[in-house]
Amino acid sequence: MAARITASVFTSHVPAIGAAMDLGKSREDYWKPVFAGYDFSKQWMKDNKPDVIFLVFNDHATAFSLDMIPTFAIGTAAEFQPADEGWGPRPVPKVVGHPDLASHIAQSVIQQDFDLTIVNKMDVDHGLTVPLSLMCGELDPQKDAWPCPVIPFAVNVVQYPVPSGRRCFMLGQAIRKAVESYDEDINVHIWGTGGMSHQLQGARAGLINSEWDNAWLDQLINEPVACADTPHIDYVREAGSEGIELVMWLIARGAMSDIVDGKAQGPAPTLKHRFYHVPASNTAVGHLILENA
Amino acid sequence: MSLEKPYLDVPGTIIFDAEQSRKGYWLNQFCMSLMKAENRERFKADERAYLDEWSMTDEQKQAVLARDLNWCMRTGGNIYFLAKIGATDGKSFQQMAGSMTGMTETEYRDMMIQGGRSVEGNRFVGENGDAQAQNQPQGKH
């Protein structure tokens, strides 16, 4: 009897997507194609409801100011409130954590030589709540709840240097090992969020490189080890300064069961869904669902 | 031995590294304060007085008052932090990003709907893409 990771979900976490849902704009022509890409996913979530979601995201200057900048931070609290990012908090349910599994993962992963910051109190921003909204649909903040507990895992991709894709990929393997050593028969999904082409700053704002994004998605699915070796500068040059968020997808990919001792040598995961769309606000939206074979 | 900074030759791009972070510490901390509704109200009531409560340089204050995000970034601001100013002003992230390009809001939005800015000519400083210094300001207006 042990916990296991059965699937990974990958998605962009554009703040405007949350705003579109919260302001009732999701049926407008601009947004329709974005949400259509998640119709399959919402049904899949219902049919494959996990017991816990391990959600890798980046904090956008919300829980962490420049006072403290942890490279990897795991949320071990019992609950996390949606943050006020300057517009007021999103009207979504509070996020219920899983302190027991989170603490277990923290201990195991640190013993595997990764330094995690343990966070017992933080608010969570759109990086975490938008993927949940995309996968679970619109929920009433008071009457409804997210389908299961969520362990927030924040990665610094704001202040350079940010962790390499290779290190994120190795971290994913350590997280799987940690989950598999938890003595409870539960089913865990690991989500990697953020990213795809976007640049939010300067004269180059609005950069979109669909060709590079799609080649990267192909590689993430089929040649994850090579994908993990993509240097930082390639993300910046080819996919924009904020395209660097994609390194977080490599944590989820590294946690899949075909990755053994850093190599892809088990049965490949099944691609259940793939979606790509331009634009949502300033970015390309990418989305994948992989199930372990 | 100097640190490796391969990102200095990307046009129209300031990578927020430790050097920028040190320069922009108080500017970015001011931005963080706008996550509280009461601080947003105080800032809106008297911007200059509120900015004067922070150990920012005068140039940083000027850049904020001018809502010139490129200028804010040159003085150490980071876009994720600066977004709190835009949020306080009721601006969308697209309006904020667009404001940094020299294009009108409509021009920028249209560019995104048509697939976004091309990477061609915009990978390295010295090429001839639309984000290169010699092609600034952008926009037809």
| Residues in B touching A237 (Cβ below 8 Å) | 10, 119, 123-124
Q: Identify the three-state secondary structure at position A188.
A: strand
Q: Is the peptide bond before A15 cis (omega within 30 degrees of 0)?
A: no
Those residues whose C-beta lies under 8 Å from the C-beta of residue A228, and which sit 6 or more positions away, are A165, A166, A168, A169, A250, A253, A254
Is B18 in the A-facing interface, judged by CB distances under 8 Å?
Answer: yes
Residue A126 annotated as catalytic? yes
CB A101 within 8 A of CB A3: yes
A94-153 residues touching B, CB cutoff 8 A: none
Closest CA to A191 of A13, A43, A22: A13
8 Å CB contact of B83 and A86: yes
In this predicted model, what pLDDT tens digit does every residue of A135-165 receive, in sequence order? 999 999 999 999 999 999 999 999 999 999 9
Extract the tokens encoding A56.
């890798």
Chain Cα centroid distance, residue A282: 19
Site from B94, B108, B124 to mutate, A interface, most A CB atoms within 10 angstroms: B94
Amino acid residing at A61: A
Those residues whose C-beta lies under 8 Å from the C-beta of residue A10, and which sit 6 or more positions away, are A191, A192, A193, A220, A249, A252, A253, A286, A287, A288, A289, A290
Those residues whose C-beta lies under 8 Å from the C-beta of residue A241, and which sit 6 or more positions away, are A199, A200, A201, A204, B10, B13, B15
Residue A198 annotated as catalytic? yes
A183 vs A189: CA distance, rounded Å: 17
Phi-psi region of A255 (alpha: psi -120 to 50; beta: other; left: phi over 0): alpha
| Residues in B touching A160 (Cβ below 8 Å) | 7, 15-18
Terminal CA-CA length for chain A: 19
Distance from CA of B49 to the nearest CA of A (A): 20
Average pLDDT over residues A95-113: 98
Is B123 in the A-facing interface, judged by CB distances under 8 Å?
Answer: yes
8 Å CB contact of A236 and B84: no
Distance from CA of A48 to the nearest CA of B (A): 34
Q: According to the 3-state scheme, what is the secondary structure of chain B?
A: CCCCCHHHHCCCCCCCCHHHHHHCHHHHHHHHHCCCHHHHHHHHHCHHHHHCCCCCCHHHHHHHHCCCHHHHHHCCCCHHHHHHHHHHCCCCHHHHHHHCCCCCHHHHHHHHHCCCECCCCCCCCCCCCCCCHHHCCCCCC
8 Å CB contact of A85 and B79: no
Q: How confident is the model at residue B141 (pLDDT cuts 50, 70, 90)?
A: low
Average pLDDT over residues A4-12: 98
In this predicted model, what pLDDT tens digit does every residue of A255-267 receive, in sequence order? 999 999 999 999 9
Mean pLDDT of chain B: 96
Q: Which of A204, A208, A212 sits opposite B11 (nearest CB)?
A: A204
Q: What are phi and psi for residue B58, nearest 5 degrees?
A: -65, -35
Q: Which of A30, A200, A208 sits opposite B93 (nearest CB)?
A: A200
Extract the tokens encoding A211.
């060709």
Closest CA to A60 of A145, A183, A143, A155: A155
Nearest-CA residue of chain B relative to A15? B93
Amino acid residing at A39: D
Q: How confident is the model at residue B140 (pLDDT cuts 50, 70, 90)?
A: confident
Q: How confident is the model at residue A87 (pLDDT cuts 50, 70, 90)?
A: confident
Extract the tokens encoding A195.
């990213």
In this predicted model, what pLDDT tens digit does every residue of B92-106 receive, in sequence order? 999 999 999 999 999
In this predicted model, what pLDDT tens digit does every residue of B97-133 receive, in sequence order? 999 999 999 999 999 999 999 999 999 999 999 999 9
Partner residues linked to A263 by β-bridges: A260
A255 vs A265: CA distance, rounded Å: 13
Average pLDDT over residues A201-218: 98
* Catalytic-labelled residue, pool A60, A98, A104, A126: A126
